[in-house]
Structure 1
Amino acid sequence: MNKNTKVLALKYRPQTFDDLIGQDVVAETISNSIKANKVPNAYLFTGIRGIGKTTTARIVAKSLNCSNGTDNLCKDELCDNCNAISNSNHIDVLEMDAASKTGVDDVRDLIEFSRYGPTTAKYKIFIIDEVHMLSKQAFNALLKTLEEPPEYLKFIFATTEIKKIPITVVSRCQRFDLSRIKSLELFNFIKDIKNKENGNASDDALKLIVKISEGSVRDALSLLDRALLTLDKDKELDLVYAQKIFGYFDKSQLITLFELIFEGKEKEVLNTYRQIYNQGVEPKIFINDFLELLYYFKNVESLNIDGTNFLLNDEEFNKIKEISEKVNNEILILFWQFTIKTLEEIDIVSNQHLSMEMFLIRLIHLKGINKVSNINNEEGSNQSEIIKDNSPLQKQEDDDLFGIKERMETIGQIKNIVQEKDIKIKENKKTELQTKLINSFDDLLEICSSKKEIKLKYELEKNVNLVGFENKRIEISFNEDLDKDFVKDLSLKLYEWTNDRWIITLSKTKGQPSKKEEEINSKKELIETIKKSPIYNDILKNFPDAELVDVKPKNSESNND
């Protein structure tokens, strides 16, 4: 095949260790071991797709069998052995795809073939790609030969799933973990290839390719190949057109969308999203980028824009930093939870586009939580009073949160549970405002009793182990009998009783014994104490078969005497 007709990923495949990018430590270690004639029985290369595992395996094979010797390895002009290995047709270097040959019989054939020495080269080498696909029996058949092979036999394994390989095999190999290629290094690499191919693409378009490829050289070259073929030679591939080709959109649009959400501009939010959608961006890609942006807002202080990270440019970074100063961490975490939930929901709805619009509308009405934080910081007001006035989830007397007040009677028959709950809270506010503060687990049990929430109290006493209880945060562990709707029910009740939003966390820590367990343990201790008393011993003397079952304090009995 003419080299000019090859795809870029094959045309620019590294032929020597010097051609490899991003794997300097691996290349230097292997080169030194070959020059020192301390070659292991087997190499194991692992890492993500497209970072050079199979390519490195071929380079190792060429280094071991080069006709010019280890000190003068082929670079520009390849010897017969190196050329044959590059073309995958060397008689002594066998490449096998474990994905198509997974059985023990294939490995037995391989072992039988290994009995014969090399024909033209110094070593007989078996390169097994995607080695994790071999069956358990195939791995077991390979163990003995792998540990004590003939001097002329070497194995080179490549895999993306290192955890699927038995530890007995891994321990017999010299393992190398190939790392993702750094953004700046990959950018310079594809820019150099773009120049060699006389391509016309802007640096911003190349940076987008680097971002999408996620450190994979093969992915980056495949995307570059596609991008260069899209436009005529006299036209430059800019960022806007590259985003259309790859189905990505300008992150500044998403930052603007986020800002509009906090300003409560519903119409502008929907129009901005529709512009993004009309660019061909799928809802799932949009929501994943939305999650990424939430991460930047939450961790903006730990991000560094130094030219080596192409996830954000300087303008986007500064804009995010400016907005994040006005946003409370609690709302960002709440947004994250809502977004993750929506990511699960869009797989089960027929019209994902409508689901995304409703998702954004929900976020608009949650943004008021940030106002609560701002008022707290500026005025030091009482938190419960502020939430009563500003919480977007609790409608005030004259508010029409969803714009449906005039149609409420028409659709009253199809109200959902959340709407019913809001109406109930509003009606309760007319007659009574719950002002009791819940500062402890015992306070929570007491209010459950006073509100006649027997089921909720039962769950709290019997199936919940308290780990931590602090300001509007409850951390618990639980047993297998806990009702599946417990957390949801408790959250709704706490919001109804306190006009405040609580965070309930499920912990792996065992926590304190439940109230029921404490009661049982206390009774056991009391029974054991009574059993050691002289009165109990006197009873046993007169009634040897007697057994103490229960103890009741004297003040709990009826005063009939």
Structure 2
Amino acid sequence: MNKNTKVLALKYRPQTFDDLIGQNVVAETISNSIKANKVPNAYLFTGIRGIGKTTTARIVAKSLNCSNGIDKLCKDDLCENCTAISNSNHIDVLEMDAASKTGVDDVRDLIEFSRYGPTTAKYKIFIIDEVHMLSKQAFNALLKTLEEPPEYLKFIFATTEIKKIPITVVSRCQRFDLSRIKSLELLDFIKKIKDKENGNVSDDALKLIIKISEGSVRDALSLLDRALLTLDKEKTLDLASAQKIFGYFDKSQLISLFDLIFEGKETEVLKTYRKIYNQGVEPKIFINDFLELLYYFKNIESLNIDGTNFSLNDEEFDRIKKISEKVNNKTLILFWQFTIKALEEFDIVSNQHLSMEMFLIRLIHLKDITNTSDTNYENSHLTNEEINQTSLSQKKDGDDLFGIKDKAETIGQMKNIAQEEDITLKDDKEFETQISPISSFDDLLKICSSKKEIKLKYQLEKNVNLVSFEDQRIEISFNEDLDKDFIKDLSLKLYEWTNNRWIITLSKTKGQPSKKQIEANLRKELLENTKNSSIYKSILKSFPDAELVDVKINVKEVKND
């Protein structure tokens, strides 16, 4: 270990293969290849940040150049070569950061330097970190040397983005994918570091560090370093203190918040969220933790406490399991989709805190809708078979199977979910208030306006071409801009407004122009007529550059006439 630094991530950096954690297969494979004198031309280490790519590269360099050999690799009393490699100043082991030296000229200098044999060590070794940052020309310049290097020359590459490296380079290397460190293994490791540093940190606080680090040893050590420096040595860093330091909040608060959402207690929900927000938790961090909790609610039966990567303790695990028993899976999936959608708002609205509160309020109302819909479905729906029997009994002579007359080359009735699903029955009093006469396409547009169904009205006016309109039957054609949910939405609203099931049919016949097209045609005709009028021609004589843009009819004058 490096005794000359106080930073834990460097102080406890592994110096031999035995010190590495979580990479046993990689360490054993490389050790065996060196012992068998079957060393590849180039190594390629890939994986997430902080799991030992550069560290492993240095250990490999030591193993190849140690004066004592691989079997007696230096651990504490380092030889001259191992000391120089650990301090990154060995004359034959060159470390290069590809992020700062990306060009072909840098690689040419490297190739030129490779022509000379090692000075004091057995091998000349080039360690290139973040190798994916090299330019395409630089990679091409490296190919020949990489494939047939001198016996004394070895390359060791490290990268976090393997997909950015040309396959021609990867195929010339012996590739090792370093895995994330398992939670229990990383916990044992930082416990030992904590004890060596005489730190007072609770196990729950250490588990939080493991969760935040996401399997990265360097991140875990950096967080532990920060935690040990924050509190006095006489005090113990507990979970609550760790959450404040790292900007995380108690999961039990989030579980309580979810329970309040499902109970529909809006005031309590907002109070709980504001309490979390006042702890310094950013809305985006909050909503990501909310998504994580939704995942646990949906899949709690198939999880165990160790499998949650220390996100939950025993009490929280049991609470989620208990609450999940009374929550419908459909509601949880809908909550997940709605939450993902809400993330997009945070890039638009400047005050994310307000967006977060409105998001929680919408979830409460969304829960009410899903619960009502589930209850109605279970208690008061007609079955598909009953609907089909009713349709058959109402069939008339000359009609097809669905009661549609054989005309206008009908290409089939596209029944949507609302038509196929069972229809909810309501009280007679509600029917009386909702029933509205719709006897024409214009009536349909009027009721859309009165019911504030602006989107539906827009689709009807702009994207629908009417073929025929009869009692409870509409035959249409449409353009490519028609909303994919149009049929479903229209059927649902027609049943809601008239208490009757309507049959909506799509036809190959082009049908009448859309309302918007009719308006555009009338406006165009009016413009042409006006341009041909004597008044407009006399205006052009006085103002030759004038151009007629629009014509508006004076409604009052028309009525008076």
Whether the TM-score (by the shorter chain) exceeds 0.5 is yes
- Counterparts of 1:121-520 in structure 2 under 5 Å? 121-306=121-306, 309-372=309-372, 375=375, 379=379, 423-424=451-452, 457-459=476-478, 482-483=480-481, 486-487=483-484, 489-490=486-487, 492-497=489-494
Gaps of 5+ in 1: 399-419, 426-444, 463-481, 501-513, 518-561
Q: What SS does the corresponding residue of 2:355 show, helix, strand or coil?
A: helix
In the aligned structure 2, how far is the partner of 1:138 from the partner of 1:458?
A: 58
Question: 1:494/1:303 Cα in 2 relative to 1: closer, same or farther (>3 Å)?
Answer: farther
In the aligned structure 1, how far is the partner of 2:128 from the partner of 2:110?
A: 11
Comparing 128-137 with 4-13, which one deviates more in the overlay?
A: 4-13
Q: Please state how far the C-alpha of 1:310 moved relative to its aligned partner.
A: 0.6
> What TM-score, normalized by structure 2, do the two folds share?
0.72
Q: Please state how far the C-alpha of 1:368 moved relative to its aligned partner.
A: 1.8
In the aligned structure 2, how far is the partner of 1:198 from the partner of 1:449?
A: 85
Aligned residues of 1:127 and 1:155 also touching (Cα < 8 A): yes
Comparing 339-348 with 327-336, which one deviates more in the overlay?
A: 327-336
Question: 1:131/1:33 Cα in 2 relative to 1: closer, same or farther (>3 Å)?
Answer: same
Aligned residues of 1:103 and 1:134 also touching (Cα < 8 A): yes
In the aligned structure 2, how far is the partner of 1:345 from the partner of 1:245?
A: 28
Partner of 1:31: 31
Alpha-carbon displacement from aligned partner over 1:89-112 (angstroms, at most 9, x marks no partner)? 000000000000000000000000
Aligned residues of 1:139 and 1:169 also touching (Cα < 8 A): yes
Size of the alignment, in residue pairs? 435
Letter in 2 for 1:90: H
Aligned residues of 1:240 and 1:250 also touching (Cα < 8 A): yes
In the aligned structure 2, how far is the partner of 1:97 from the partner of 1:5?
A: 22
Question: 1:158/1:453 Cα in 2 relative to 1: closer, same or farther (>3 Å)?
Answer: farther
Aligned residues of 2:114 and 2:153 also touching (Cα < 8 A): yes
Partner of 2:418: none
In the aligned structure 1, how far is the partner of 2:254 from the partner of 2:450?
A: 31
Question: 1:447/1:116 Cα in 2 relative to 1: closer, same or farther (>3 Å)?
Answer: farther
Larger Rg over CA atoms: 2
Q: Please state how far the C-alpha of 1:306 moved relative to its aligned partner.
A: 3.7
Letter in 1 for 2:484: V
Q: Please state how far the C-alpha of 1:301 moved relative to its aligned partner.
A: 2.2
Letter in 2 for 1:202: S
Aligned residues of 1:305 and 1:313 also touching (Cα < 8 A): yes
Q: What SS does the corresponding residue of 2:67 show, helix, strand or coil?
A: coil
Question: 1:453/1:57 Cα in 2 relative to 1: closer, same or farther (>3 Å)?
Answer: farther
Q: What SS does the corresponding residue of 1:127 show, helix, strand or coil?
A: strand
Q: What SS does the corresponding residue of 1:94 show, helix, strand or coil?
A: strand
Aligned residues of 1:372 and 1:386 also touching (Cα < 8 A): no
- Counterparts of 1:5-20 in structure 2 under 5 Å? 5-20=5-20
Question: 1:36/1:448 Cα in 2 relative to 1: closer, same or farther (>3 Å)?
Answer: farther
Comparing 67-76 with 96-105, which one deviates more in the overlay?
A: 67-76
Letter in 1 for 2:477: Y
Partner of 1:49: 49
What is the percent sequence identity of the aligned residues? 80
Aligned residues of 1:201 and 1:238 also touching (Cα < 8 A): yes
Q: What SS does the corresponding residue of 1:367 show, helix, strand or coil?
A: helix
Partner of 1:94: 94
Aligned residues of 2:98 and 2:132 also touching (Cα < 8 A): yes
Question: 1:388/1:378 Cα in 2 relative to 1: closer, same or farther (>3 Å)?
Answer: closer
Q: Please state how far the C-alpha of 1:322 moved relative to its aligned partner.
A: 1.7
Partner of 1:530: none
Alpha-carbon displacement from aligned partner over 1:66-116 (angstroms, at most 9, x marks no partner)? 000122111221111011000000000000000000000000000000000
Aligned residues of 1:227 and 1:237 also touching (Cα < 8 A): yes
Question: 1:359/1:134 Cα in 2 relative to 1: closer, same or farther (>3 Å)?
Answer: same
Question: 1:306/1:18 Cα in 2 relative to 1: closer, same or farther (>3 Å)?
Answer: same
Question: 1:263/1:85 Cα in 2 relative to 1: closer, same or farther (>3 Å)?
Answer: same
In the aligned structure 2, how far is the partner of 1:278 from the partner of 1:423?
A: 41
In the aligned structure 1, how far is the partner of 2:206 from the partner of 2:468?
A: 61
Runs of 4+ in 1 over 4 A off after TM superposition: 376-389, 420-425, 445-454, 488-491, 514-517
Q: Please state how far the C-alpha of 1:315 moved relative to its aligned partner.
A: 1.8
Aligned residues of 2:300 and 2:320 also touching (Cα < 8 A): yes
In the aligned structure 2, how far is the partner of 1:140 from the partner of 1:342?
A: 45
Alpha-carbon displacement from aligned partner over 1:245-303 (angstroms, at most 9, x marks no partner)? 11111111111111111111000000000011000000000011111111112222221
Q: Please state how far the C-alpha of 1:319 moved relative to its aligned partner.
A: 1.5
Aligned residues of 2:380 and 2:425 also touching (Cα < 8 A): no
RMSD value over aligned CA atoms? 3.0
In the aligned structure 1, how far is the partner of 2:319 from the partner of 2:169?
A: 51
Letter in 1 for 2:144: K
Gaps of 5+ in 2: 383-420, 435-447, 454-465, 498-505, 510-561
Q: What SS does the corresponding residue of 1:346 show, helix, strand or coil?
A: helix
Alpha-carbon displacement from aligned partner over 1:437-474 (angstroms, at most 9, x marks no partner)? xxxxxxxx9999877877xx534xx7xxxxxxxxxxxx
